[in-house]
Amino acid sequence: MHYSQLFPVDDFHEDSAALYVDAALDHNHGLTGIGFTLKIGQHQIIASENHLLPRASTPIFAEGQALLQGISWCIDSQLKPKFIFSDCLNLVSKVNGDWQDHSALSGLVS
């Protein structure tokens, strides 16, 4: 999946550093898989990581965990992405300030 092709992003170039985050729930084993990748442009992978965590309560919370862990990983590794991509539109809306509520997710991303 090419996240940047789903929604046009101004100023994204082949030399732009971008963090891609994603999550998946495994209901059978009670686990959440999260992963994050730092790429230059759409094709050059610089670094990536993935983790298994206890199952998140909802898919959007799992995506929020992936975002938080991905940003923390970048800070700890001194990586500086110019863009962050997620395939979770509700999470993107929340981070961009277009969606508000009083859930645990709100506390996670605010």
One digit per residue, the tens of pLDDT, for the chain of length 110 reads 344 444 556 777 788 899 999 999 998 998 999 999 999 988 899 999 999 998 888 888 899 999 999 999 999 999 999 988 888 877 877 777 766 666 665 555 55
Phi, psi of 93 (to 5 degrees): -60, -40
3-state secondary structure of 75: helix
Question: Distance between CA atoms of 57 and 39, rounded to whole angstroms?
Answer: 29
Record the pTM: 0.75
Question: Distance between CA atoms of 43 and 92, rounded to whole angstroms?
Answer: 22
User: CB 69: neighbour CB atoms within 10 A?
Assistant: 19
Q: Write down all domains in the chain, each with its CATH number in brackets.
A: 17-89 (3.10.20)
Q: Tokens 């990581």, residue?
A: 49
